Amino acid sequence: MALDRKATPNDLNAFWMPFTANRQFKKNPRMFVAARDMHYTTSDGRQVLDGTAGLWCCNAGHCRPRITEAIQRQAAELDYAPAFQMGHPVAFELANRIIEIAPRGIEHVFYTNSGSESVETALKLAIAWHRARGEGARTRLIGRERGYHGVNFGGISVGGIVNNRKVFGTLLGGVDHLPHTHLPAVNAFSKGQPENGANLADELERIVALHGAETIAAVIVEPVAGSTGVILPPKGYLEKLRAITRKHGILLIFDEVITGFGRLGAPFGSQYFDVLPDMMTTAKGLTNGVIPMGAVLTTAEVHDAFMTGPEHMIELFHGYTYSGNPIASAAGIATLETYREEALFERAAAIAPYWEEALHALKGLPHVIDIRNMGLIGAVELDPIAGEPTKRAFNAFLAAYDKGILIRTTGDIIAMSPPLIIEKPQIDELIGTLAGVLKTLA
């Protein structure tokens, strides 16, 4: 019987693009058709230098042969295995390899398919963990203003980016927020970690006093907030959050979706800042962005509390059809091998001072009101056009793309996070081109 198929329209209408100005895009599309190492190739044959590692995820650069081959091999050998009540060796091997590079004290891996799912998983684990230990009243979740924890209901509830929240109803109940740590009046143009603002962590004591510690399950923060436009933790801030959460029996979750896998020049932000959370949410760089995969990493204390009851019983009623998918797992192993063989985390640490200097040389250019950096992350904040917020940075993004560099913008902030393989001349090209763009911006 012939399938009743509509003729396929060769236009851009059907695909409703995520986090995109669809109408603007479809009038003047920007298409990548190929990629290798530090560059994308556009549909009109131009090379574009990747200043953002895709979406903060292609930490080893693009189309790395080891990863491509691992995916091809795995797809031909074991394409899929049920994720519930069955296993396959590749997912176990990857979990062990993740734990090898995780901070000491982190011992277990729960697979998801994205950062958003990692966040939902961690939030659910936090509530269930307290319940498993007889503290079922601990259900409140504390996030932070301007935090980004993906786009699912839990994530936008604890998140603090207004546009991601305001049109989606009442969200989760029982959520409160710490203040963000963006303090331009005292910290503008800081190189690396800002000096001022550790006291903002004390706001957690106020929230605890308001709700009662016995109602709070977890605090979730990004060690370095990325998607909101790069907000750095002031010196001593994360240490304070850890001390206060520990004092009150509250779990601390680090959302390491961006800071994981070398972005700061250490495997995870936890090691970079020397602060151990109870759980870490990851995704992106886990598979070099090539195959969707995320993971929640936990301490033994979190995991072991669930390992009770009759042994034939499922301990945690949670998981995804694609948790630990064989092809994603193979991509993950090949990615971690690439990071290790090329010492990419060390490389990021070594080149970070050059990155910092190049970036801060943009100070004084038109509209630049702040520059922030850490590891291989950089942000340039622009003065918004009066009455037209976001437009100046978006114009910079479009002009940058025309001149052959890929940057990202959030509000009026330009964020950059190049692959960890970037070379010094490419840093010069990226920042030099951006300087040219800034000089011509209205």
Ligand X SMILES: Cc1ncc(COP(=O)(O)O)c(C=O)c1O
Nearest-approach distance from CB 222 to ligand X, in angstroms: 5
Kindly identify the residues of this chain, within the stretch 55-74, that bind ligand X according to CB under 6 A. Answer: none
What is the DSSP secondary-structure string of 159-219?
---HHHHTTSTT--SSEEEEPP---HHHHTT-SSS-SS-GGGGGHHHHHHHHH-GGGEEEE
Plot region of 367 (φ>0 → left; ψ -120 to 50 → alpha; else → beta)? left
Q: Which stretch binds ligand X (CB under 6 A): 90-98, 201-209, 220-228, 418-426?
A: 220-228
Nearest-approach distance from CB 150 to ligand X, in angstroms: 3
Is residue 148 a contact residue for ligand X (CB under 6 A)?
yes
Q: Is 75 helix (H, G, I), strand (E, B) or coil?
A: helix
Plot region of 37 (φ>0 → left; ψ -120 to 50 → alpha; else → beta)? left
Is residue 149 a contact residue for ligand X (CB under 6 A)?
yes
Nearest-approach distance from CB 261 to ligand X, in angstroms: 12
Strand-pair category, 405-406 with 216-221: unpaired
Nearest-approach distance from CB 372 to ligand X, in angstroms: 16
Query: Which tokens hold the place of 343?
Result: 């010492």
Among 70, 119, 219, 302, binds ligand X (CB under 6 A): 119
Is residue 160 a contact residue for ligand X (CB under 6 A)?
no
Residues 77-116: x where in contact with ligand X by CB under 6 A, - otherwise, as a string: -------------------------------------xxx
> In sequence order, what E strands does 69-115 have?
106-112
- Give the total of residues touching ligand X (CB under 6 A): 14
Cβ density class 319-332: b for 16+ within 10 Å, e for less: ebebbbbbbbbbbb
Among 54, 226, 267, 269, binds ligand X (CB under 6 A): 226
- Cβ nearer to ligand X, comparing 224 with 396: 224
At residue 147's C-alpha, the angle toward residues 131 and 379, to 5°, is 150
- Cβ nearer to ligand X, comparing 18 with 45: 18
- Cβ nearer to ligand X, comparing 280 with 330: 280
Distance separating alpha carbons of residues 47 and 294, to the nearest angstrom: 30
Give Cβ neighbours of residue 439 (< 8 Å, ≥ 6 apart). Answer: 365, 366
- Cβ nearer to ligand X, comparing 52 with 426: 52
Distance separating alpha carbons of residues 431 and 442, to the nearest angstrom: 19
Nearest-approach distance from CB 258 to ligand X, in angstroms: 4
User: Residue 365, class by beta-carbon neighbours within 10 Å (0-12 exposed, 13-18 middle, 19+ buried)?
Assistant: middle
Residues 254-283: x where in contact with ligand X by CB under 6 A, - otherwise, as a string: -x-xx------------------------x
Kindly identify the residues of this chain, within the stretch 375-394, that bind ligand X according to CB under 6 A. Answer: none
- Cβ nearer to ligand X, comparing 244 with 258: 258
- Cβ nearer to ligand X, comparing 119 with 305: 119
Q: Answer yes or no: are the C-beta atoms of 99 and 106 closer than 8 Å.
A: yes
Is residue 146 a contact residue for ligand X (CB under 6 A)?
no
Among 51, 150, 269, 332, binds ligand X (CB under 6 A): 150
Residues 393-432: x where in contact with ligand X by CB under 6 A, - otherwise, as a string: ----------------------------------------
Through-space distance between the first and last CA atoms of the chain, rounded to whole angstroms:
60
434: how many CB neighbours lie within 10 A of its CB?
25
Give me the residues that bind ligand X (CB under 6 A), please: 114-116, 119, 148-150, 222, 226-227, 255, 257-258, 283
